[in-house]
Amino acid sequence: MTVPSLTLNDGHSIPQLGFGVFLVPPDETAETVTSALEIGYRHIDTAQMYGNEKGVGEALAASGIERDDLFITTKLGNPNHKPDDVRRTFDQSLTDLGLDHVDLFLIHWPLPTQYDGDFVSTWKAMTELTSDGRAKSVGVSNFEPDHLAKIIDESGVLPAVNQIEVHPQFANTAARTAGLDRGILTEAWSPIGRGAVLDDPTIGEIATRLGKTPAQVTLRWHIERGDIIFPKSMHVSRMQENFEIFDFSLTPDDVNAISALDRGDEGRIGPDPKVFDRI
Ligand code: NDP
């Protein structure tokens, strides 16, 4: 399988399919990521708050894969929004990952009710990390339209991506469209809704017709819409299944039928970024 790449608004490219490691226990991360790399994943999505950057780094070092063939993302922890902490903890992430640069560094949550509502200075400190190439690209996660507008207006710098919750039951249209309208690609987190969408009869019918699994059909739906995804699994057979989504396609009718499953805010499985404040 060849994973397609998309071009970010800063000119760098990103593999459209990666592997996410949220909730992968630190002591099982190296083995899990090694399996993912063996299957062919080259894009890994981790975060300071996942506590498993060291395990990701171990797997990368042991793999012998050329650095240029990998795309590694990490994210700023919620306790680290002050500019000095951005710089300090970014250095620590590089050390833990065993890398001299990451491909993408994201603000994990906007935390609009924390830090006196100031996520702009956090963003400005993030953008400085690209000047010496230690972060090739910088972006945000869980940003609502007004959060995006504020950092862009006050810094003049576009985030490369906005990583937000998106799956068939939660289209998150306002946040997704606010980014896409400005050339900011969407990274869709929890792309199979942590399994919640897999029993849906519409997805099941399409999967049966195509001889694919509901997870493959759902992941392919994201690909057809041009979003970036990194499903997580601790099972090698599922990692393999989730990787095999480039030998078939969905018709526009299939894409529309899956998009119609959107339940608005009721479909959300994660916290609402407008009020999420956990540091
Ligand atoms: P996913 O939608 O990727 O679902 C993961 C769950 O689905 C796991 O329980 C996994 O179980 C199960 N699963 C995976 N593949 C299959 C399959 N083929 N068939 C049946 N079940 C399957 O949810 P995540 O929340 O993990 O999201 C993916 C990634 O997105 C995260 O790992 C992280 O990188 C990122 N993320 C970012 C957030 C943010 O705030 N920026 C928030 C949440 C996620 P098992 O492991 O047992 O196989």
Mean pLDDT of all residues in the chain?
A: 98
User: Which residues belong to the active site?
Assistant: 50
**What's residue 1's pLDDT?**
77
List of the chain residues with pLDDT < 70: none
What burial class does residue 145 get, using C-beta atoms within 10 Å of its C-beta: 0-12 exposed, 13-18 middle, 19+ buried? middle
Q: pLDDT tens digits for 211-227?
A: 999 999 999 999 999 99
Probe target for ligand 1 pocket from 107, 189, 242, with the most ligand atoms within 8 Å of CB = 189
What's the CA-to-centroid distance between 116 and ligand 1, angstroms?
A: 32
pLDDT at 159 (0 to 100) = 98
Q: What is the pLDDT of residues 59-116, one digit of tens each?
A: 999 999 999 999 999 999 999 999 999 999 999 999 999 999 999 999 999 999 999 9
Please answer whether residues 160 and 138 qualify as being in contact, where contact means their C-beta atoms are separated by less than 8 angstroms.
yes
Predicted confidence at residue 18, as pLDDT, reads 99
Q: Is the CB of 235 under 6 A from ligand 1?
A: yes
Nearest to 239 by CA among 248, 230, 227, 247: 230
Among the atoms of ligand 1, which is closest to the Cα of residue 241? Answer: 18
**pTM passes above 0.85:** yes
Element (DSSP H or E) covering residue 88: helix 83-97
Map residue 270 onto helix, strand or coil: coil
Q: Enumerate domains of the chain plus CATH numbers.
A: 14-194+226-234 (3.20.20.100)
Instruction: For ligand 1, say whether the CB of 189 is within 6 Å of any of its atoms.
Output: yes
